[in-house]
A and B are shown apart, each in its own frame.
Chain A
């Protein structure tokens, strides 16, 4: 069995184009998901019933669904709502933002809840309103505590982008798949894809571990 690694070098720019799409989708998904997730996470902590219940329903609903199905669902829904067809990237981006928001929301919720009541009371006692306390004390501290979990979830999102394959998005995996269909060198190609993903995700998880150790020592 001989390996022909030129298939990778020959198609390198094509494959890297796919990787770029992966990164773009991941960045949009993570930032959008985090932003929406903060809102949903805070809604989950609210004592106002009309805010708490929809947020809780949303989060619990998303947790029952495979992401791949949610991608399909938005792919069909959005054109119906907008009346126009939509490209795979936008459809995937929307699906990811909404889906991943539910996971980010839970991390945020746990992070905010982990800030002791004493801290909150200290903030109030110096005259801050709820929103000011949140903005200047609670959320910054909570974010610092949550950082390892957030990064881990970011890595998960990065890997999840490969699922956009199913609606034809030319991300990293699909580019490899396209080349494979043409050149029939699946071993080299998928080993390469796996290797690149591994390198990126492994480094991020190492950074995470180092952060947790520093946090523990502090």
Chain B
């Protein structure tokens, strides 16, 4: 469970997060959307400590991120993250990408890690790519490997930063299918995305951000059909043709 309390962040003079408040419960799927520069990615990255913030507090399962004694390494083991540009390690094979963290961080044996990795690759639909290098895979395949890599650490929470924005249209579905499957299995997910179809299918809550602030919240039904704020209406009119 994640509690975001009065979080503000500045980059120099620019306020990128403005008094953000939100609670995300276990098993919930929360979609964050909004125009570029609205602070969505920054907010996502502050949840696992990749982006520090100057004001407010974020608590993940009771652990405060501003507590100097917080062990971020342990914290991040519980939170998996998937990036817009996949960010697979190009010099490692697909299977090594997935197993390296369990081996080096959790001290798992190579056999155990490999077995788990193959299971995950099956789950995302590409077990045959295990011994290839990321450079030989399509974007959609790479992103699925990235999801498997994040799942290998058995996180409680999965964070997605525009996971399909860098994909060619024909590959978006294969990644979204994996994410829907994950959502239905009960994973707590925070997803920054423009894919409203995904939001409609599995999101419990949709948050609309602009200029660092949460402008509007809703469920898939209320937000899409009856957006309240002008900015949300404007944004939706631009992305939903």
Do A and B touch (CB < 8 Å)?
no
